[in-house]
Amino acid sequence: MGLKEKQVQRLIAELQQRGYVERKVRKTPHGQTSNEYDLSGLVKKLQELAPEFIEAAGAKRKAELRGGLRIKTA
């Protein structure tokens, strides 16, 4: 992605603050192994926004089609 590790950590922290991502620490008897991330908050938000994106994509497509149907006159 071209991002440094610290940048990714800051972005994840921001997503956590907004309630889009929940970090779950995974541990073994020997200590922490890694993190697990619950993205259900992000999925929910994207589902709420989906109609807007679909509408915008449709409007863009219609504009492209209209532009492609123009006839040039000399």
pLDDT at 70 over 80: no
Locate 60 and state its tokens.
């863009």
Q: Are 34 and 26 in contact (CB under 8 A)?
A: yes
At 5 the pLDDT is: 94
Mean per-residue pLDDT for 31-58? 92
> Taking the model in full, what pTM does it have?
0.62
Same domain? 1 vs 14: yes
Same domain? 19 vs 45: no
The verdict on residue 29 lying in a domain is yes
The verdict on residue 32 lying in a domain is yes
Side-chain half-sphere CA neighbours of 41 within 13 A: 13
The verdict on residue 74 lying in a domain is no
Range of the domain at 29: 1-38
pLDDT at 72 over 70: no
At 28 the pLDDT is: 87
The number of distinct structural domains making up the chain is 2
pLDDT at 44 over 70: yes
The verdict on residue 23 lying in a domain is yes
